Amino acid sequence: MKPVLLSLLPLLLPVIQAAPTQGFARDADPPLRGSPDLLGYSSSNKLTEHTTEGVKYKLLPGQKEDPKIGSYLDFSDAPYPQPIRGNTGGTDSSQRQEAYDRMNSDKFAPPGTDKGQTINAQWPMGLSRNRFGKDGSGWARQENTVVMPDATRMAGVDMRLEAGAYRELHWHVASEWSLVLNGSCRIQAVNEDGQTFVDDVTEGDVWFFPRGVPHSIQALDAGVEFLLVFDDGSFSEDNTFLASEVFAHNPKSVLSKNFDLPIASFADIPEDDLYIFPGTRAPDDIEEQNVTTAAGILPRQDSYSYHFSEQPAHEVSGGSVKIIDPQTFPIAENFAAALVTVQPGGLREIHWHPSSDEWTFFLRGKGRATLFDAPDVATTFDYQAGDVAYFPQSNSHYIENVGDEELVVLEVLQADRFTDISLGQWIGSTPKQIVADTLKLPESALSKLKTEKQFVVPGGNQTSN
């Protein structure tokens, strides 16, 4: 070894000994943690600049209005939507999910009449986990207090069964109210008195099964999709009582004794739940499935189905309304509902329900609603088909059609009668002197107030004058 290298050896040995056996670390790798010198103020701190001056956006006409006019902002085709109304808000050029901003313009650029934050009154079923049936037989997704903590009175499920598929024999601790969304199915049940029930229901029809009553659903030839509403906000489809599970979790010796059958009869019972599964096609003749006991069939006045599809709608200016409640469907003693259609630009008038929360499902179209809670809290939400809305008891709200097609919504109450209080009817039926003194409305407006409930009002050419 040369003398120069020998003289450097004491300096090189610590480096060689400390080096990893599988190659050396790169000298350029930064440390995992920064220097303590970076704490607090330093005259050498480096500042960055960020400006929105280069963002090429264009305000919509409604964004230039007085914020309290609160026109709907359709950001669908707007380049670089901005959270601005009148002289409020400001520009935003940061990275974000513009798709959410476009779908929820009233959260992104809220009307000037919004204040604070109400409950979250919106849940898209599209964000709910889809629970699949067996062998391509269907699916179900749900909304409950897990995703809408303040929706405590009702929960909902959107379910699809392919042709011939079953929603397995089951029962719930909650009552089940349903609207058929499309297709047809056969429903069957047996009550606590042993009375039996079977019926075929189709798009627009309603059924109801009281808590604890076992039932099943089978899709007919075209398949079926239906909406289920339960009278418990914490209800979960994952916690229903299934026939397959009842059999699986009772000793076979007990099943043998219970049914007076040999143990061998239960050799092939399912080891796991079925939930949604393919089945044998239902016979065309429903009489073939009309099994009866000594108690007979369920009396007509206690029927678990109501052919709501055949009820004519009540036509009003701007849309239509159909109501179903215990006055015509007695077995559903605490479910009341309205199927409301709103034409483009129209409005389900400002109202509230004095005796119940409202659980609403958007069946078709685009809408928005402002939820107002005392004394001065208001939030405006935007809804698409497939969304759930929830408006607490006595909190006022409206539903405005902001799309270019019919808006169809289902409003469900926990009540023995469908009722609401109309803001328009209240003000129109109050002496004009009181209204003028309170709201400072001009005589030209007072003379046009209506004393009758409108339910739905048509769109018009509202101006600031």
Active site residues: 411
Cβ count within 10 A of residue 371: 23
Residue with tokens 């008195």: 193
List of residues 6+ apart from 326 with CB closer than 8 A: 332, 333, 334, 335, 336, 416, 417
Tell which residue, 13, 47, 74, 15, has the closest CA to residue 404: 74
Burial class (CB in 10 A: 0-12, 13-18, 19+), 121: buried
- 156, 192 Cβ separation under 8 angstroms: no
Q: Smallest Cα–Cα separation from 139: which of 226, 23, 203, 242?
A: 226
The full length of the chain comes to: 465
DSSP 374: T
Q: Which two tokens stand for residue 247?
A: 């059999």
User: How far apart, in whole angstroms, are the C-alpha atoms of residue 290 and residue 287?
Assistant: 5
